[in-house]
Amino acid sequence: MAENAFGKVPAGGEGASIEYRPYRGVEDDPLLLAIARSSDAADGKTEEPSLEDIEAFCKPSERFVPARDLDIAYVATSDGVPRPAGFSKRSRYSGYRACPLYCQYSCLAGEWRHASIWPRMVRRNEELLRTFHARRTEGAPAEGAWLQAWSSDCEKDWIAVLEGEGYELVRSFNNMRRSTKAVPEFALPTGMEVRPVEPPQLRKIWEVQRELNLGVFECVEENWRDECFEAWAKEAEGGTGLWQVAWAGDEVAGTVLAHYETGHAGREGRSRGFTEHIYVRPAWRGRGLASALIARALRALAELGVEEAELGVDSRNESSAFELYRKLGYETESEDGWYRKPL
């Protein structure tokens, strides 16, 4: 029997009772942080989450109501007192081509990994998501709807739980990084220019980002409704200095929305920015525009003293983006997996 921050954990634990209570608000954030750090340590992650990360994780939205969709699992220990062992979050959204997706994420403290707690948490989440679907659709069939979960490649225990519960890997995403040193020169195609971003231009840039996002596997359709523009523009305020937006006359031809959060570092402690939202519109593809914009973004980060840049890409990206990034010197650091099974 092991003594730890979460109580005395039985060696077996398979028959331990589980109680759930809803998230109570910010007063629970330190507890969620302790569970998340224990879970990450068990997975071999080196970058610890912060209270700010937990606050972002718990932030309510149209599709996520914390008091309803976030709960903490308490497991009976040898002294008969339920101890916190994990937590679960549930949400829903419309994916690529309006595919209904019902998502769950569960975190389990490392001290409880030997027990059968996690599969039971997953099954409970599934029951709640099915009930939510039935209420939301007034009993409509679940055909075409999916249960979904994500994982990082280091989360071996979580992957094993998902696979054991019938989930299948449907997509892999590569998290890639590159040094901001020795960036090759690529000229912008004739007739295009990069201009400093001004507020009146944001609507056109947003429209191009919507075009990009509605066409990818990881699409969240609800994020790109017309009424979402104002919130997107407000979030962009003061953060467009590193953006590389190519214009062909009055039309946006391509984008790399680079950014850097002061103090952010990669696995080896080097300062790390992001070269994200990389997109060239179909009419301007095949001219080297993506390479030119990425190179400009890398040099802009380097001028700030940022040592490396990160991006994420679907390994099956139909525009061959993955191969392009490899040619530009990006290397895969880790992979994320999307797992699904029919609702």
CA distance 34 to 135: 34
What distances in angstroms separate CA 169 from CA 95, 107, 161, 166, one per listed residue?
16, 19, 13, 10
Q: Which candidate, 178, 105, 73, places its Cα nearest to that of 337?
A: 105
Q: Where are the alpha helices (DSSP H) in the chain?
A: 29-42, 51-57, 66-69, 117-136, 156-164, 202-213, 229-236, 289-303, 321-327
Least-confidence region, from 29-38, 50-59, 138-147: 138-147
**E strand intervals along 143-205:** 146-152, 168-179, 193-194
pLDDT tens digits, 40-51: 999 999 888 999
Mean pLDDT of the region 6-32 = 79
Q: How confident is the model at residue 1 (pLDDT cuts 50, 70, 90)?
A: very low
At residue 278, the pLDDT reads 96
SS (H, E, C) 60-117: CECCECHHHHEEEEEEECCCCCEEEEEEEEEEEEECHHHCEEEEEEEEECHHHCCCCH
Per-residue model confidence as pLDDT tens digits over 270-279:
899 999 999 9
Q: What average pLDDT does this structure show over 257-273?
A: 86
What would the pLDDT profile of 227-250 be if each residue is shown by its tens digit? 999 999 999 998 999 999 999 999
184/113 Cα distance (integer angstroms): 47
Query: Torsions phi, psi of 134, nearest 5?
Result: -60, -40
Compute the Cα dihedral for 127, 131, 137, 142 and give only its sign: positive
pLDDT band at 142 (very low <50, low <70, confident <90, very high): confident
How is the chain split among helix, strand and coil, in percent rounded to 5? Answer: 35, 30, 35
Could you give the CA distance from residue 175 to residue 312 in angstroms, rounded to a whole number? 4
Question: Residue 99 has what pLDDT?
Answer: 87
Mean pLDDT of 75-85: 86
Q: If you average pLDDT over residues 210-226, what whole number do you get?
A: 91
Average pLDDT score, the chain: 91
What are 156-208's pLDDT values in tens digits? 999 999 999 999 999 999 999 999 999 999 999 999 999 999 999 999 999 99
Do 113 and 43 form a contact (C-beta atoms < 8 A)? no
Say what percent of the chain tops pLDDT 90.
77
